[in-house]
Structure 1
Amino acid sequence: MSCVGVLALALLLDALFGEPDWLWKRLPHPAVLMGRAIGWLERGFNEGDGRFMAGAIGVTVLSALAGLIGWIIPHLPFGGLWEILMVAVLLAQKSLAQHVQAVADALRQSTDEGRQAVAMIVGRDTDGMEDDAIARSAIESAAENFSDGVIAPAFWFLVAGLPGMMVYKMINTADSMIGYRNKRYEQFGKFAARVDDVMNWVPARLTAVIMLGASRRWDAWRLIRRDAPLHRSPNAGWPEAAMAATLNVALSGPRAYDGEMREFPWVNGEGARNIGAKEVDQAVDMLWSAWLVGLGVLILCAIVT
């Protein structure tokens, strides 16, 4: 089966079943195993001089091992089936939509419950958040994780098969764990962060185009091009600006990390700022609309080819 066909089936499997608790309570999720490997690497080698080189070599070796596993799986008995299942496992559409929807549902109960729900999906301080900040955080997480967790792994699967997808997931996991600009990770995680930026360059912009296609608001491209560069990340600003423009909400802006308030610029600053559960619902709808557009393109390509 072609890569396009495998990916289409995997997207459908993920949308239907997501990440079943009964399975991952008995077996370690591949992303969890990747996280454990990165944690072991960091604990053992993030010390002394030469931290950048240690991090670069370590992440390269782990990525090569991930790619090797990705090459082996399709060559196993019933390899085509295992490949479809692995691709489905490495996509995160349904689980992302569920986590974001949980924030909207919690917000309808109380602000405190909304804070608890959004704390599950963002790394910023949530204790003092009001409803509008909770909603913004959930929508931003929806946009960025749709790019990182769905479009980017799908893109790299189409480019380089399961090995490419596995390498991307290892790099992205490393970036999420050690790619921070602080005293502990600045040098050790710099390589992972830079490679992650490179690997997400095309998928981030592709995500913005897919969202435009899903909303049919092609006029919003001007706003996206204007606001995407405002983001501190060279890539995350594109899906975030696309979500902000298509929903007509203002995202980003001031927020707190580790007790320190940081003044980030607004994305689509002219959009609505007094937002809540309804706008989070709309973001979830956008996730599924964009997913459907992507799936439709894949099916069309499979038919044509």
Structure 2
Amino acid sequence: MSAITTFFLAILWDLILGEPPALVHPTVWFGKLIGFFDKHYKRRSPTLDFIGGAFASLFVIAFAFALSKLPEFLPKWFSFVLGVYLLKSSFAIKSLAEHVGNTIREDIEEQRKYVSWIVSRDVKRVDRAHLNSAAIESLAENITDSIVAPLFYYLLFGLSGALVYRAINTLDAMIGYKNERYFYFGKFAARLDDLLNFIPARITVFLFLPFNPKRVLEYYKRAKFKLNSDKPIAAMSAVLGVWLEKEGLYRFDGVEPTLDDIKRALRVYWILIGEWILACMIILALEVLLC
């Protein structure tokens, strides 16, 4: 019963307490590790940069795997508590909703500030509709990255799966860019993140189906701009009936998104979270019964 109990308590921890302090947050540790390699590795050539980035990424992944095994060497009571804590650190339900909720601001400069905290694009001159779109897009995309994927890999591989996924996703977020500095150094991490998100991104789309199956599938088929991240964005656009657009990359049609649509997106989000938690609990319960 430990896997299902650990899962249940980790979910409660997240919903009640939210994120642990940065000082003791494994995701922050992963970020600091790759940041160290990024800072001290001098770019040389495409081949050497790729090898250097792959080595740095594998070091962070190995650290995440070792951290996931730590509870096995500790006293039973402490092992259980640490396992709950580490699993909780691999996903973020409450904080994602809070960050997106903070973007619902009548003052457009205030909204720009909060949107800039959750997206990588420059929003200094972005209009209101595109700010609303960016907030909703970030919410949709992060349903996969922050919740569905880490728990999917927990179901498959236990705590190691969840923490290793979180490490890889953190690597991608920090060095997985197609610019001069990271194109080769971050390529290994970016491709690995693409691979691990392939199934979870489509599970996320599946969770949208009860709202409007026909429209969600129609928009999903149009999502050919990126391998994974545009799939849940397309599904959210279909459900809300609003256009979601990253200029120059993708656009899903609908009416202009408003602040109220961010609120609607958050309501959809909590329903999806409920669906996914229920599905995970059923799968874990079946594993107990069949073992």
- 2:214 alignment counterpart: 219
Q: Which amino acid aligns with 2:249?
A: F
Contact preservation (8 Å) 1:5, 1:302: no
Quote the offset at 1:24 in angstroms.
1.2
Deviations 1:217-252 (A, max 9, x none): 2222332332221x3x31001111111111111112
Contact preservation (8 Å) 2:130, 2:245: no
Whole-Å separation in 1 of the counterparts to 2:206 and 2:156:
18
Whole-Å separation in 2 of the counterparts to 1:147 and 1:84:
21
Contact preservation (8 Å) 2:118, 2:138: yes
Match of 2:234 among 234, 241, 247: 241
Deviations 1:119-166 (A, max 9, x none): 111111111122211110000000111110111111111111111111
- Alpha-carbon RMSD: 1.7
Match of 1:168 among 135, 160, 165: 165
- 1:257 alignment counterpart: none
TM-score scaled to structure 2, two decimals? 0.92
Deviations 1:274-302 (A, max 9, x none): x2210000111111110111112233334
Q: Report 1:20-169 matches (<5 A).
A: 24=21, 27-49=23-45, 50-77=48-75, 78=77, 79-104=79-104, 106=105, 108=106, 110-169=107-166
Alignment CA distance shift 1:7-1:228 (3 Å):
farther
Alignment CA distance shift 1:46-1:192 (3 Å):
farther
Contact preservation (8 Å) 2:220, 2:235: no
TM-score scaled to structure 1, two decimals? 0.88
1:290 aligns with 2:249: no
Contact preservation (8 Å) 1:240, 1:251: yes
Whole-Å separation in 1 of the counterparts to 2:262 and 2:32:
32
Gaps of 5+ in 1: 255-262
Contact preservation (8 Å) 2:150, 2:165: yes
Quote the offset at 1:48 in angstroms.
1.7
Whole-Å separation in 2 of the counterparts to 1:301 and 1:52:
38
Q: Percentage identity across aligned positions? A: 33
Query: Where in structure 1 do 4 or more consecutive aligned residues deviate above 4 Å?
Result: none
Quote the offset at 1:2 in angstroms.
4.4
Contact preservation (8 Å) 2:204, 2:232: yes
Q: Which amino acid aligns with 2:155?
A: L
1:272 aligns with 2:263: no
